[in-house]
Structure 1
Amino acid sequence: MSDFFNKIIGQKKSKLVLTKLINSRRVPHAFIFSGSKGIGKFFTAIEFAKQINASDPATQSQINTLSEPFIKYVFALPRGKSESGDDGPFDKLTKSTIEAIQSEIKEKVKNPYYFLKIDNANTIKISSIRDIIRFLNIYYQPEIKRFVIIDDAHLLNEESQNSLLKSLEEPPENVFFVLITDKIEYLLKTIHSRSFVINFENLLEDELEEVLKSYFGIDGVLASKVTKFSNGSVYKAAKLLEMEFESLSEKAIDFARFSVMKKYSSALAIINEINDKYGTSGIKLFIDLINMWFLDTIKEKCSELKDFYYIGKEESISKFNKRFPKTKQEDIIENLNKYSNYFDRNLNLNIISLSLIFEIAAIELGD
């Protein structure tokens, strides 16, 4: 396997598929890299572009820095004040916004697992697709293989996808597209049919731990703990760490206890605090931690299953089960998942939160 691909942690199957395509000299002009957010799809796209240009170290260096005209990196952007359809993607953005975006790109260049943080960047604008077309029309040395990488491609609306489709159907020679997404179902079937789809797998715990230590400088003990809660996703692990993971996990346990003990105001205060600090996306991660607490209480009841999420909390888990022996954790977990989806629907936060608390409080107390 290529030395370039060896830099990528995990993703053995995806790397093998790409290596076989390169060796066959029949590389498709368009790819969809599909899989959970934060598992190395972007890094693989960059290393793939470098491998395609393996005979040109100067081009590889430019690819590393996401420099045009070698790489066209497309991502969601905010809409500028009074922006019209005739404006370019950056034309109406303020100077401070552009400087913030440039700073984020520098972080992405330094760390391919880094996630861009751009305020109000919810869609990939049609102007960004027009910018791709201009990029494609630039004549460049035919021996250089250029790449268009579209991050979070599911943020393309239907108009933008249809506009992109024309370029996918008749791309210039030696131009390759990579669409990166964790929601492939949002892409048009016509884009699917014109692209080679590669499905990426979530990272194993040891792989994720290695990414956190090598690329984010996370202490080994903390990296080991947070990987258990992250479902193989660097994105999820990074978010949990931003939310002060160790404190957050303690609050998840407190929330479960307060709810069971019918201390409604205390439980509600915790979830309101999470929302104030991190918004609905933070609440959804918090609910995941609560789910994992209840999963651990199930594991504790089954003597053969001792691979807990909450390492070091075995005694607390045992005490919980002794105090609440009639707990129907499976039903609670099912309902927690249901309520987690409600937070995406702009419903009243207090109503959803109280319903969630009441659901847990419905546990029948032991004698």
Structure 2
Amino acid sequence: MSLFPLINQDFNRKLLLNTLENDRVANAYLFYGPEGGGHEGFALEFTAMLNCTSSNERPCGKCPSCRKMKTLEHANLQLIFPMPIKKDTSSDNKPFKSLSQSEIAEIQNIIRKKAENPYEKISIPNAKHISINFIREIKRTIYLTSPEKGWKVVIVFDAHLMTEQASNAFLKILEEPPPKSVFILTSSNPSNLIPTIQSRCQPIYFPPLSLSSLESVLSSKGITESSRRLIISLSSGDLNQAIDLSETDLTKLKESTLEILRAIAVWNIEKIYKLIWPVQGKIISKFGTQKNPV
């Protein structure tokens, strides 16, 4: 069974299960691919597999470990993600020290949403980088004994957003990892990771979701066939974007898309920018470039 509601990627699921069953778990992985394809969700799923106590199907979804993992509250799980860096924040501070109670509550709510929907991005307002503070906190805790049995797992979401200082500090941890620990880096831009970190990780590529998968999800939501075709053509295999588009006024979106195409046809730069910004990135991926995978 699957602990989290994940779509497709059966090949990678079997690959990870075989890795576990054959006792060939690597110290570090790089789960990469386009946004919304499931690489972040499978980082959570693999963590659940590693810590499930069932002797049969893993994750079983029933053992105490799976129940804790389902809410992302397992003691063996540590999450790293971009956080806002305030001017008065020292590099020695703990990552949450400079945040207000309301900011911490907002982050906790975002993580709860991630537990419910593994395709949801952990997107914190004003967060652009993963600072060295987060890595130093991991270094402080990863070598301590955990109250739970199983594997300690550190998931670094959007690992390509680590600062240079953070990357260098993280590399030192990868070079001397503690026993029974796994580091899972997720990224939609893996080429932005420093080569020495890439070389320490086992890469696993997660392709965009298939058209039939998106079709199935949208159909279950009662979206009409013509609307489904437009949404799928604009979502680039990104489930979150497809769902977001399904809740958008598609008539206005069609009009905006046609206007942008006309502006592109005559290469009216000023008009292109003027039209694209109000759409808030919903169709930018259609015209953007994708970096080559590692």
TM score, norm. by length of structure 1: 0.68
Partner of residue 11 from structure 1, selected from 9, 14, 17:
9
Structure 1 177/47 Cα, relative in aligned 2: closer, same or farther at 3 Å?
Answer: same
Please list the CA deviations of residues 99-144 of structure 1 after superposition, one character each: whole Å capped at 9, or x if unmatched: 2212211111111111223211100111011111122033125732
Q: How does 1:329-340 map to 2 (within 5 A)?
A: none
- Flag the 1:261–1:228 CA change in 2: closer, same or farther, 3 A: closer
2:277 to 275, 278, 288: 275
Which one is further off, 42-51 or 247-256? 247-256
Q: Quick check: 220-229 or 122-131, which moved more?
A: 220-229
Question: Which residue number in structure 2 is paired with residue 310 of structure 1?
Answer: none
Q: Secondary structure at the residue paired with 2:235? A: coil
Does 1:220 pair with 2:226? Answer: no
Tell me which of 125, 129, 142 is aligned to 1:136.
142
Q: 1:241 to 1:271 in 2, by over 3 A?
A: farther
Task: Pick one of 76, 79, 86 that aligns with 2:85.
Answer: 79
Shift of 1:16: 2.3
Counterpart residue identity of residue 98, structure 2: K
Unpaired runs of 5+ residues, structure 2, are 55-62, 290-294
User: How far apart, CA to CA, are the structure 1 residues paired with 2:104 and 2:235?
Assistant: 32
Between the two structures, name the one with larger relative contact order (CA 8 Å, sep ≥ 6): 2
Match of 1:51 in 2: 49
State whether residues 226 and 237 of structure 1, in contact with CA within 8 Å, keep that contact through their aligned partners in structure 2.
yes
Query: Which deviates more, 218-227 or 164-173?
Result: 218-227
Distance verdict in 2 for CA 1:19–1:97, change over 3 Å: same
Segment drifting more, 244-253 vs 179-188: 244-253
Report what 2:182 is aligned to.
Answer: 176
- How far the C-alpha of 1:251 sits from its partner, in A, is 1.7
How far has the Cα of 1:224 moved from its partner?
A: 4.9
Deviation at 1:6, TM superposition (A): 9.3
Give unpaired runs (5+ residues) of structure 1: 292-336, 339-367
Q: CA 1:8/1:255 → structure 2, altered by over 3 Å: closer, same or farther? A: closer
CA distance in 2, matches of 1:261, 1:106: 46
2:159 corresponding residue in structure 1? 153
Task: Check if 1:248 corresponds to 2:264.
Answer: no
| 1:256 shift after superposition | 3.7
Match of 2:111 among 79, 102, 105: 105
1:238 deviates by 4.4
Q: Of Structure 1 and Structure 2, which has the larger fraction of its residues in helix?
A: 1
State the 1:171 CA deviation: 1.6
Partners of 1:33 and 1:181 within 8 A in 2: yes
Show structure 1 runs of 4+ deviating over 6 A.
258-262
Percent pairwise identity: 30
Q: Which amino acid aligns with 1:27?
A: V
> How far has the Cα of 1:73 moved from its partner?
1.0
Residue 236 (structure 2) aligns with: 231
CA distance in 2 between counterparts of 1:212 and 1:123 reads: 33
SS at match of 2:234: coil
Residue matched to 1:302: none
Q: Distance between the aligned counterparts of 2:213 and 2:250, measured in 1?
A: 19
Partner residue of 2:169 out of 142, 163, 167: 163
Q: CA deviation at 1:228?
A: 2.4
Matches within 5 A, 1:298-317: none
Is residue 84–residue 126 contact of structure 2 (8 Å, CA) maintained in 1?
A: yes
Asked if 1:33 is matched to 2:39, the reply is no
Contact 2:4–2:70, Cα closer than 8 Å, also in 1: no
Aligned residue identity for 2:10: K
Could you tell me how far apart the structure 1 residues matched to 2:64 and 2:193 are?
A: 34
State the alpha-carbon separation in 1 of the partners of residues 28 and 6 from structure 2: 21
Spell out, residue by residue over 1:15-57, the C-alpha distance to the aligned partner (whole angstroms, 9 max, x if none): 2221221121121121000111111112111111111222161
Aligned alpha-carbon RMSD (Å) = 3.0
SS in 1 for 2:29: strand
- Report if the CA contact (8 A) 1:4-1:51 is conserved: no
2:96 equivalent in structure 1: 90
Whether the aligned pair in 2 keeps the contact of 1:5 and 1:15 (CA below 8 Å) is no
Q: Check 1:220–1:197 CA distance in 2 against 1; reply closer, same or farther (3 A cut).
A: same
How far apart are 1:154 and its partner, in Å? 0.3
Q: How far does residue 258 in structure 1 lie from its aligned partner after superposition?
A: 7.0
Aligned counterparts of 1:258 and 1:171: Cα–Cα separation in 2: 53
Q: 1:190 aligns with which of 173, 192, 196?
A: 196
Which stretch of structure 1 is more off in the superposition, 64-73 or 194-203? Answer: 64-73
Find the residue that maps to 1:220 and give its secondary structure. coil
Q: Which residue of structure 1 lines up, in the alignment, with residue 57 of structure 2? A: none
